[in-house]
Amino acid sequence: MGIKQLFSIIRDEAPQAIKEGEIKNQFGRKVAIDASMSIYSFLIAVRSGGEQLMNESGETTSHLLGMFYRTLRIVDNGIKPVYVFDGAPPKLKSGELAKRFARKAEATEGLEEAKETGTAEDVEKFSRRTVRVSRQHNAECQQLLKLMGIPYIIAPTEAEAQCAVLARAGKVYAAASEDMDTLCFDSPILIRHLTFSEARKEPIQEIHVDKVLEGLGMDRKQFVDLCILLGCDYLDPIPKVGPNTALKMIREHGSLEKVVEWINNEGKNKYTIPEDWPYADARELFFNPDVRPADHAECDFKWEQPDVEGLIKFLVVENAFSEERVRSGIAKLQKNLKSSQQARLEGFFKPIPKTEAEIKNLKRKNEEKAEEKRKKAKEEKKASKASKAKPKMNS
DNA sequence: CACGGCCA
DNA sequence: TGGCCGTGG
């Protein structure tokens, strides 16, 4: 899922595109978060004894707990999140792609089921693999966010694409996601690991798409083609094509059309394009996703006071959360909303006046910084090559 | 996953 | 102070 190995390519070929930092650096920023993806990871990770957390009626609460505490942490760091939910799965012209993938998903599920031998470990594995975000999970999280005063919007299709639209329009600073696909949808900035910088040791990464293209020496179309070649959500990968080959192919041939043509002729002894490989449709999904324009009313959002009684009723009464923890969480929401209003009043977020001279100065400084980074990165690359160190990197 | 409590 | 581990619902 997602684009495998894209991150390591960017790290190697366009290190200037990745800025690393801590969550404090994000203070005061608005970010768009792919809600459905977050919910999915909560359903998988928030467990006790291998089982999802539940309320007294036996209904899952893992997604609510994950979303509640993660959002609190984000807000507590002065970040203003807007959550974006998936709408319908993307419709392709033929609708074939979606169907094909639904079948494939069912098939793997069946396989897992067949393999299941009944040991506790297998059951747990199985239950994790068959996790799907349901309509109810989404609705409950939306209810929670509403009560928390945190805005959300529902995308026509893919949340990633909608996040990118918001970021491009400047309605948020960045799209926050673990999924590199967001870059294909042309979000200017992608923030990865937004939440787990303090908890784990890993830094927050900001990936700047313009720098990615610059470093790779590609235009956006070639970049998307590269991503498709690396294996996107919609298409099977081409056997024997890994990151190195994919990069080489796009660089040598310039486009997927040419790559396919080459494989079908000169390259046919080594590579085979999967039988059904509608790459043009996949590309179309990245270039013309079904999204709401940023100036649309549905893309208006604001942060509001939490509904204290509503939250107590929903989380404590209906879902067995600890009242004490919920109340202290609410206090954080109130405090941070107040302090961000205060900051605005005091002109903390006052836009920097951009006179000609200032812009020039800023540009010069950015150039210098970039140059310095490039130098440093080059040296680091040399050093790591010399020592043959293989940096570990997993998505 | 996120938190808090515990211990070195 | 920070790393580990149990608990949350």
- The answer to whether the beta carbon of residue A277 comes closer than 7 angstroms to any atom of strand C is no
Our measurement of CA A312 to C1' C8, in angstroms, reads 17
Q: Which nucleotide is nearest to A69 (CA to C1')?
A: B2
pLDDT above 90 covers a percentage of chain A that reads 67
Residue nearest to nucleotide C7 (CA to C1'): A48
CA A198 to chain centre: 19
Question: What is the C-alpha separation between A121 and A20, in angstroms, rounded?
Answer: 37
Our measurement of CA A171 to C1' B1, in angstroms, reads 28
- The answer to whether the beta carbon of residue A328 comes closer than 7 angstroms to any atom of strand C is no
Q: Which nucleotide is nearest to A41 (CA to C1')?
A: B1
Our measurement of CA A56 to C1' C7, in angstroms, reads 17
Length of chain A: 395
Our measurement of CA A368 to C1' B2, in angstroms, reads 40
Q: Is the pLDDT of residue A159 over 50?
A: yes
Q: Domains for chain A: give ranges and CATH numbers.
A: 6-217 (3.40.50.1010), 222-287 (1.10.150.20)
Our measurement of CA A260 to C1' C5, in angstroms, reads 52
pLDDT at A375: 67
Quote the pTM value.
0.84
Q: Which range in A126-135, A150-159, A344-353, A377-386 is most confidently predicted, on average pLDDT?
A: A150-159
- The answer to whether the beta carbon of residue A65 comes closer than 7 angstroms to any atom of strand C is yes
- The answer to whether the beta carbon of residue A390 comes closer than 7 angstroms to any atom of strand C is no
Confidence of residue A105 (pLDDT cuts 50, 70, 90): confident
Q: Judge whether A78 and A173 are in contact, CB under 8 Å.
A: no
> Average pLDDT over chain A, rounded to whole?
86
- The answer to whether the beta carbon of residue A101 comes closer than 7 angstroms to any atom of strand B is no
Q: Is the pLDDT of residue A118 over 70?
A: no
Confidence of residue A115 (pLDDT cuts 50, 70, 90): low
pLDDT per position as a tens digit, A252-300? 999 999 999 999 999 999 999 998 899 999 999 999 999 999 999 999 9
Confidence of residue A232 (pLDDT cuts 50, 70, 90): confident
Confidence of residue A365 (pLDDT cuts 50, 70, 90): low
In terms of DSSP bridges, do strands A189-192 and A18-21 run parallel, antiparallel, or are they unpaired?
unpaired
Query: Looking at per-residue confidence, does A393 or A230 come out higher?
Result: A230
Our measurement of CA A350 to C1' C1, in angstroms, reads 37
Confidence of residue A128 (pLDDT cuts 50, 70, 90): confident
- The answer to whether the beta carbon of residue A72 comes closer than 7 angstroms to any atom of strand B is yes
Angle, CA A345 vertex, CA A343 and CA A348 arms, to 5°: 40
Confidence of residue A350 (pLDDT cuts 50, 70, 90): very low
How many C-beta atoms surround the C-beta of residue A164 within 10 A?
30
Question: What is the C-alpha separation between A212 and A191, in angstroms, rounded?
Answer: 14
pLDDT at A341: 73
In terms of DSSP bridges, do strands A30-34 and A80-85 run parallel, antiparallel, or are they unpaired?
parallel
- The answer to whether the beta carbon of residue A211 comes closer than 7 angstroms to any atom of strand B is no
pLDDT at A366: 57
pLDDT at A201: 73
Confidence of residue A233 (pLDDT cuts 50, 70, 90): confident
Q: Which nucleotide is nearest to A52 (CA to C1')?
A: C9
Q: Which residues contact A139 (CB under 8 A, 6 or more apart)?
A: none
